[in-house]
Amino acid sequence: MAKLLIIGAGGVGNVATQKCAAMGVFSSITLASRTLSKCDEIAERCKSRHGVTVKTAKVDADNVPELVKLIKTTESDIVLNLALPYQDLTIMDACLEAGVHYIDTANYEPQDEAKFEYKWQWAYRERFEKAGLTALLGCGFDPGVTNIYCAHMGKHAFDTIRNVDIVDCNGGSHGKAFATNFNPEINIREITANGRYWEDGTWRTTKPLSVSQTFDFPGVGERKMFLLYHEELESLCQNIKGLKRIRFWMTFGETYLKYLDVLQTVGMTRIDPVKVGDVEVVPIKLLKEILPEPSSLAKNYTGKTCIGCVVEGEKDGKFKRQFIYNVCDHAECYTETEGQGISYTTGVPAALTAKLLAEGVWKKPGVHNIETLNPDPFLAEIGQWGLPWQIVDLEHSVA
């Protein structure tokens, strides 16, 4: 049985650690993060809800020697990185040095530039392959489950996929005027960047939040969604053969956008340092400190999320359009894990990925985006761990 080290005790870490504890496939689980008390709180939940002891530790995931020491002292076989995208490369370096497998849910971003790309992590391919180690990238919901949905549609439902629209709706309400559902810094950097989609072999750029339309989300209803760039587009456009276009859409409420506009206009979303007296302050980091912690939103969250892929293409010479998706209820997530729906939809697939790697089902030396793996074992189990999926025919395309 494998020993698992989870790094990051935020909203996603809370859900994933509890799910890993419930899975019964790890001989030991250690949860490490910057703030030890947050790890202890989650470990307590694992004990009281699942009767499983989770060890805890304090670690600075920006520090490779500290990480290597922790991996070695805990004798871990797999590291599940649920800290921030800034820590991806240091954790991958530590995994290589200590000789263990690696999983994450978000691709690397430099702190000083709002730019997320796989090139930094894909550069580790040869080193992981030579070491006989597996690194699985983007194993949350989107990226993650959405990649697996595409793999499933390509394998079982379509002969050729032509168009994919990934649609992400949080139809829930947390009762706060303004808050983000996952790390505010990462979230705001993503939304305020230019939109981008891939068509006919090239990338097309749009101004931030300038392209929108309404979509009828099962379980939620009609919502306005906006075209964004999202990291899974980069690997999916390479891995789906015959693809013509792939886009990503996310819903936002009017109030959220109004607050975001004001924060941007006054400069609170800037990522460069500003002098305040003798100290340098990065406005978006200050904003993160004063906004509610995403995990604190869970208690009063109501409503549902709906995330999925609208896929168009051909089957047996005929045009076909289908929607593969999951609907998740915030309040049910809270009852089960004390987490909210966004943390839950990310933490469950991350935990299942760790299980499949531990069982050897998804062991494949190198660095991989998960649409290149067999989707069947993942989709056979994900429903049982809390994220059931379904496929429906769609009458209308995403315009």
Interface ranges with ligand NDP (CB under 6 A) = 8-13, 33-35, 38, 59-62, 82-85, 87, 105-106, 138, 140-144, 182-183, 186, 294-295, 342-343, 346
- CA distances 169 to 11, 45, 249, Å, are 18, 29, 8
Between 16 and 131, CB nearer to ligand NDP: 16
Shortest distance in whole angstroms from residue 314 CB to ligand NDP? 29
Give Rg (Cα) of the chain: 20
Q: What span, in angstroms and rounded, lies between the C-alpha atoms of 310 and 373?
A: 21
Shortest distance in whole angstroms from residue 138 CB to ligand NDP? 6
Q: What span, in angstroms and rounded, lies between the C-alpha atoms of 298 and 301?
A: 5
Between 22 and 36, CB nearer to ligand NDP: 36
Between 26 and 108, CB nearer to ligand NDP: 108
Cα dihedral value 239, 165, 14, 2, nearest 10 = -20
Shortest distance in whole angstroms from residue 346 CB to ligand NDP? 4
Shortest distance in whole angstroms from residue 315 CB to ligand NDP? 29
Between 111 and 214, CB nearer to ligand NDP: 111
Query: Which residues, including other chains, have CB under 8 Å from residue 262's CB and lie 6 or more apart?
Result: none
Between 142 and 312, CB nearer to ligand NDP: 142
How many C-beta neighbours within 10 Å does residue 194 have?
Answer: 13
225, 250 Cβ separation under 8 angstroms: yes
355, 290 Cβ separation under 8 angstroms: no
Between 131 and 246, CB nearer to ligand NDP: 246
Q: What span, in angstroms and rounded, lies between the C-alpha atoms of 367 and 365?
A: 7
Complete DSSP assignment for 167-189: EEEE--B-S-SS--SS-HHHHHH
Shortest distance in whole angstroms from residue 134 CB to ligand NDP? 18
Q: What span, in angstroms and rounded, lies between the C-alpha atoms of 373 and 152?
A: 10
Question: What are the strands, taking DSSP E only, across the chain?
Answer: 2-7, 26-33, 55-58, 78-81, 101-104, 134-137, 160-170, 195-199, 202-206, 212-217, 221-228, 245-251, 274-276, 279-281, 304-315, 318-329, 366-369, 390-393
Between 5 and 131, CB nearer to ligand NDP: 5
Shortest distance in whole angstroms from residue 331 CB to ligand NDP? 19
Between 67 and 209, CB nearer to ligand NDP: 67
Between 116 and 158, CB nearer to ligand NDP: 116
DSSP class of residue 194 equals P
The residue with its CB nearest to ligand NDP is 10
Shortest distance in whole angstroms from residue 45 CB to ligand NDP? 15
Shortest distance in whole angstroms from residue 100 CB to ligand NDP? 17
DSSP class of residue 153 equals I
Cα dihedral value 324, 330, 332, 333, nearest 10 = 90
Shortest distance in whole angstroms from residue 307 CB to ligand NDP? 8
